[in-house]
């Protein structure tokens, strides 16, 4: 797949690198320095390039939105027309100092995003794990028991694309249902962040659901 990265920071930089290593064609975009985007592309060890958000969006089969909530409008404006595109968003609707959600309970960041780009197909994914764990998960891909990763969205084909990317990073994709389930996923992420950054054992944390019975 051709994957455009909108926001090449902790999440976008690592996810793009891993997608390239998994064989996808990646374009990194949206950082404060072009040098950084070029470095990410060079070090990805796969098919990866640096570009503008508009270039990343143009031929993308999937676009990964990985910017702070306050930058969403700006990066979307720079990306241009995203009609019909699959947008995999890990962006959480956090306030400026990242201490709380600014949208919750009756809506979610993912739903607000879908309202902004009504002709795109938004899937919420990857936001429930800390960036610090992504490389470890990728490196443990061959283990029998993979960590889970929840995702949700309203468009089945877009969800299939997201599930492929989730699997390629090394997680077991767990379809949590329609996009409104992001109302539960986004607060869950704050729990994961609490355990990762305030708990014992460090931020290299993932989770796994287990089913019992039949």
The residues of the shown chain that bind ligand NAP, judged by CB under 6 A, are 7-12, 30-33, 36, 66-69, 71, 90-92, 94, 127, 130-131, 189
Q: What DSSP element (H or E) covers 26?
A: strand 25-29
- Nearest CB to ligand NAP, comparing residues 139 and 157: 139
Q: How far is the CB of 126 from ligand NAP (least distance, A)?
A: 7
- Nearest CB to ligand NAP, comparing residues 62 and 66: 66
- Nearest CB to ligand NAP, comparing residues 107 and 142: 107
Partners of 172 in the beta sheet?
148
DSSP state of 47: S
Q: How far is the CB of 210 from ligand NAP (least distance, A)?
A: 23
CB 49, CB 33: distance < 8 Å: no
CB 92, CB 193: distance < 8 Å: no
- From CA 88, how far away is CA 110, in angstroms rounded? 10
Tell which residue, 166, 62, 153, 156, has the closest CA to residue 108.
Answer: 153
Q: How far is the CB of 144 from ligand NAP (least distance, A)?
A: 26
Compute the CA torsion angle 144, 158, 15, 127 (nearest 10 deg): -90
- Nearest CB to ligand NAP, comparing residues 95 and 157: 95
- Nearest CB to ligand NAP, comparing residues 68 and 167: 68
Q: How far is the CB of 200 from ligand NAP (least distance, A)?
A: 18
Q: Minimal CB distance to ligand NAP: which residue?
A: 9
Partners of 148 in the beta sheet?
172, 207
Q: How far is the CB of 122 from ligand NAP (least distance, A)?
A: 14
């Amino acid at each position: 797949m051709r994957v455009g990265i909108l926001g090449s920071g902790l999440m976008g930089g690592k996810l793009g690198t891993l997608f390239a290593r998994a064989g996808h064609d990646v374009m990194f975009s949206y950082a404060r320095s072009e040098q950084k985007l070029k470095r990410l592309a060079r070090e990805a060890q796969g098919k990866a390039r640096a570009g503008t958000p508009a270039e990343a969006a143009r031929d993308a089969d999937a676009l990964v939105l990985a910017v702070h909530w306050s930058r969403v409008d700006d990066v979307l404006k720079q990306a241009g027309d995203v009609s019909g595109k699959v947008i995999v968003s890990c962006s959480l609707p956090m306030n400026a100092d990242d201490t709380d959600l600014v949208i919750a309970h009756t809506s979610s960041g993912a739903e607000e995003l879908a309202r902004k780009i009504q002709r795109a197909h938004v899937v919420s994914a990857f936001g429930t794990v800390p960036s610090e764990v992504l490389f470890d998960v990728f490196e443990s891909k061959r283990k029998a028991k993979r960590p889970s990763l929840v995702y949700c969205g309203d468009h089945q084909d877009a969800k299939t694309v997201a599930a492929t990317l989730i699997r390629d990073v090394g997680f077991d994709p767990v379809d949590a249902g329609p996009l409104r389930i992001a109302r539960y996923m986004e607060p869950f992420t704050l729990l994961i962040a609490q355990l990762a950054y305030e708990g014992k054992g460090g931020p290299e944390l993932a989770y796994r659901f287990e089913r019992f019975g039949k």
